[in-house]
Amino acid sequence: MTNNNFISNNPFGINIAIPKKTIQEVQKVVKEEIENISVNPFLNYLEENDKVFSGEIAREINNYNAQIYALGQVMREGQPTSTFNIKM
């Protein structure tokens, strides 16, 4: 029992030999599934939202805010000023 390989060579329970090809197929499928679960959705999210991360959306929002402000200024300048004439 001093040999460390004793346990791995004599497993507990039913002794079933799994073919190497089956193990390789399982490893391949597991690797593909793990990549599809963890990496691909994350990369797709980054691709779809690239404008947000690059700052392009922030520039568009600032541009729209500047346009709204300029339009408001023009509209305020075009309004006649009202004065109160209170006669006593």
Going from N- to C-terminal start, the domains of the chain cover 17-76
The whole-chain average pLDDT of the chain stands at 79
Estimate the share of the chain in helix, then strand, then coil, as percent rounded to the nearest 5: 70, 0, 30
Lowest mean pLDDT of 1-10, 12-21, 31-40, name the range: 1-10
Say what percent of the chain tops pLDDT 90.
20
Across 24-47, average pLDDT: 82
C-alpha triplet 47, 59, 40: angle, nearest 5°? 10
Examine the pLDDT at 85 and tell me if it is beyond 80.
no
Report pLDDT for 45: 85
Examine the pLDDT at 36 and tell me if it is beyond 90.
no
Q: How far is CA 78 from CA 48, 59, 81, 82, in A?
A: 43, 29, 9, 12
Q: Which residue has 């994350």 as its token pair? A: 42
Report pLDDT for 43: 80
Is residue 57 within 8 A of residue 64, CB to CB? The reply is no
For the chain, the straight-line distance linking the first and the last C-alpha, in angstroms and rounded, comes to 116
Report pLDDT for 1: 46
